[in-house]
């Protein structure tokens, strides 16, 4: 079975550019999560959706970050404009019964 699929796996961009990270959850899962991994803070929850509706976005660091889930099989996390401090690994995870299933992550480097 396909797991959670994230793209791109690696992204290198310059400060000020727009970055879009994509996630396809496991079919049938009704919850989707975006996490950011940094050395300082570990895995931070940015936002999560339930049945495509954003439930809690209190972890989104600032207005430069936005996330959407237009349908049950697709979500995006957008950073505009990007800054060097946004460099991190961004994980998407999905769930149906509580246990989270993680994608392989998108490593973002902002120069």
Partner 1 sequence: ILNVEQSPQSLHVQEGDSTNFTCSFPSSNFYALHWYRWETAKSPEALFVMTLNGDEKKKGRISATLNTKEGYSYLYIKGSQPEDSATYLCAPSSGGYQKVTFGTGTKLQVIP
* Cα–Cα distance for residue pair 36/13, rounded to 1 Å: 17
Considering the rule CB under 8 A, would residue 51 count as an interface residue with partner 1? no
- Cβ of residue 101: shortest distance to partner 1, in angstroms? 8
- Binding to partner 1 (CB under 8 A) within 64-93 occurs at 91
| Preceding peptide of 81 cis, ω within 30° | yes
Q: How many CA atoms lie within 13 A of 44 on its CB side?
A: 16
Binding mask 5-44 for partner 1 (x = CB under 8 A): --------------------------x-x-x-----xxxx
Q: 79 vs 93, which CB is nearer to partner 1?
A: 93
Considering the rule CB under 8 A, would residue 102 count as an interface residue with partner 1? yes
Considering the rule CB under 8 A, would residue 105 count as an interface residue with partner 1? yes
Given the structure tokens 């339930």, which residue do they identify? 50
Q: Which residues make Cβ contacts (< 8 Å) with residue 27, sequence separation at least 6? A: 2, 73
* Cα–Cα distance for residue pair 97/99, rounded to 1 Å: 6
Q: Site residues (CB under 8 A) for partner 1?
A: 31, 33, 35, 41-45, 48, 50, 55-56, 58, 91, 95, 97-105
């Amino acid at each position: 079975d396909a797991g959670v699929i994230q793209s791109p796996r690696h992204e290198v961009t310059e400060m000020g550019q727009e970055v879009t990270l994509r996630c396809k959850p496991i079919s049938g899962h009704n919850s989707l999560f975006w996490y950011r991994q940094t050395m300082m803070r570990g895995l931070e929850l940015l936002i999560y959706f339930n049945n495509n509706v954003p439930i809690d976005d209190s972890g989104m660091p600032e207005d430069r970050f936005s996330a959407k889930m237009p349908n049950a099989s697709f979500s995006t996390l957008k950073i505009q404009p990007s800054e060097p401090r946004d460099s991190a690994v961004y994980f998407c995870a999905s769930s149906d019964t509580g246990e989270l299933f993680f994608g392989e992550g998108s490593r973002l480097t902002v120069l």
